[in-house]
């Protein structure tokens, strides 16, 4: 699934004999604005590789590789399941690890190839690829930066499988952390937090995701772009209120610091609705 799944498949096709690929299982992801489902199906079909939907039962295969996959896979006893996970394990086990790492401002991002286990993301590590990042960093750019990691790991793992050189190492449980699943409620901005955190939050939930959400007079809006500004002394601090207008751009009070909103849209649109209709606006 997703751009990462497409990139992994492209690497297999480019650097590994495609005859080693028995089939590809695909699924749509309604939680993102673009899931690359059509591109994956088109490439697989063009290469005459069998395609199965996730609710279908494919034939046996020696190894299964899961990339950007959100559902439980139950391999047979004869099969080995390898998972590509969007974090430098053992940190950020679980769900939406890239989003969580970006929000928290992690210095390094990466991908781990690991053996599947009964408890998610606790299996032995086969290989990892990672890199250093600087902020601000939008999630679309972060995904682009992760793509070479997926490609590198895909080639390495395929080579290990073909030449029967698979090795792995157990994770260090003392360094483990978890990332919870996210739903629609987790898109909403908490204006009582630090402005730099909020900027990372907005950047982490942008395209291909739905966009960080806020409410104005009962209507859900999506903040597409913003920048953190230095704080000012506010005697009656009230997070979420507009304090200044810099041209068409409202400046909003945060728990610490200020946020200048550069682009804000209605829930199902990409059209910037700035300037606001009134100065006295409260974001909730």
Q: Which of 107, 106, 125, 127 is nearest to 115 (CA)?
A: 125
> What is the rounded CA–CA span in Å between residue 212 and residue 191?
12
Question: For residue 98, what are the contacts with CB-CB under 8 A and spacing of at least 6?
Answer: 86, 87, 109, 139, 142, 143, 146, 204
Residue with tokens 């928290």: 104
Residues 109 and 239 reside in one and the same domain: no
Give a yes or no: residue 284 inside a domain: no
Residues 38 and 161 reside in one and the same domain: yes
Residues 196 and 143 reside in one and the same domain: no
Which range of residues forms the domain containing residue 227? Answer: 185-266
Residues 8 and 80 reside in one and the same domain: yes
Give a yes or no: residue 278 inside a domain: no
Residues 116 and 163 reside in one and the same domain: yes
pTM above 0.85, yes or no: yes
Tell me the CATH number at 54: 3.40.50.170
Give a yes or no: residue 108 inside a domain: yes
Residues 62 and 132 reside in one and the same domain: yes
Give a yes or no: residue 225 inside a domain: yes
Residues 79 and 134 reside in one and the same domain: yes
Residues 150 and 191 reside in one and the same domain: no
Give a yes or no: residue 273 inside a domain: no
End-to-end CA distance of the chain: 33
Residues 261 and 194 reside in one and the same domain: yes
Residues 191 and 173 reside in one and the same domain: no
Residues 261 and 197 reside in one and the same domain: yes
Q: In a 3-state reduction of DSSP, which class is residue 21?
A: coil
Q: In a 3-state reduction of DSSP, which class is residue 243?
A: strand
For the chain, 284 residues long, give each residue's pLDDT as a single digit of tens: 888 899 888 887 777 777 788 999 999 987 777 889 999 999 999 888 999 999 999 988 999 999 988 888 888 888 899 999 999 999 999 999 999 999 999 999 999 999 999 899 999 999 999 999 999 999 999 999 999 999 899 889 988 998 899 999 999 999 999 999 999 999 999 999 999 999 999 999 999 899 999 999 999 999 999 999 999 999 999 999 999 999 999 999 999 999 999 999 999 888 999 999 999 999 99
136's tokens = 């601000």
* Buried-state track 91-118, b at ≥16 Cβ within 10 A, e below 16: bbbebbbbbbbbbeebeebbbbbbbbee
Residues 207 and 109 reside in one and the same domain: no
The total domain count for the chain is 2
* Rounded to 5°, angle at Cα 243 from 239 and 246: 130
Tell me the CATH number at 195: 3.10.25.10
Give a yes or no: residue 15 inside a domain: yes
> What is the rounded CA–CA span in Å between residue 156 and residue 144?
20
């Amino acid at each position: 699934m997703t751009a990462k799944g497409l990139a992994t498949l492209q690497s297999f096709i480019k650097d590994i004999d495609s005859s080693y690929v028995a089939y590809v299982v695909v699924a749509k992801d309604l939680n993102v604005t673009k899931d690359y489902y059509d591109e994956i199906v088109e490439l697989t079909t063009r290469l005459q590789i069998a395609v199965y939907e996730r609710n279908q039962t494919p034939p046996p295969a020696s190894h299964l590789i899961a990339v950007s996959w959100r559902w439980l896979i139950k391999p047979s006893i004869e099969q080995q399941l390898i998972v590509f996970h969007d974090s430098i394990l053992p940190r950020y086990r679980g769900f939406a690890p890239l989003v969580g790492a970006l929000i928290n401002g992690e210095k390094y991002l990466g991908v781990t190839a690991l053996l599947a286990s009964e408890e998610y993301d606790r299996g032995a590590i086969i290989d990892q690829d990672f890199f250093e990042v600087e902020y601000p960093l939008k999630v679309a750019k972060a995904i682009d930066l992760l793509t070479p990691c997926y490609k590198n790991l895909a080639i390495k793992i395929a080579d290990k499988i073909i030449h029967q050189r698979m090795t792995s190492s157990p994770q260090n449980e003392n360094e483990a952390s978890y990332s919870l699943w996210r739903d629609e409620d987790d898109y909403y901005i908490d204006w009582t937090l630090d402005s730099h955190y909020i900027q990372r939050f907005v950047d982490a939930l942008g395209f291909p995701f739905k966009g960080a959400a806020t409410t104005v007079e009962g209507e859900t809006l999506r903040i597409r772009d913003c920048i953190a500004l230095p704080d000012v002394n506010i005697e009656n601090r009230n997070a979420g209120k507009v304090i200044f207008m810099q041209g068409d751009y409202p400046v909003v009070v945060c728990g610490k610091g200020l946020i200048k909103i550069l682009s804000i849209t209605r829930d199902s649109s990409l059209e910037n609705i700035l300037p606001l209709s009134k100065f006295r606006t409260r974001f909730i």
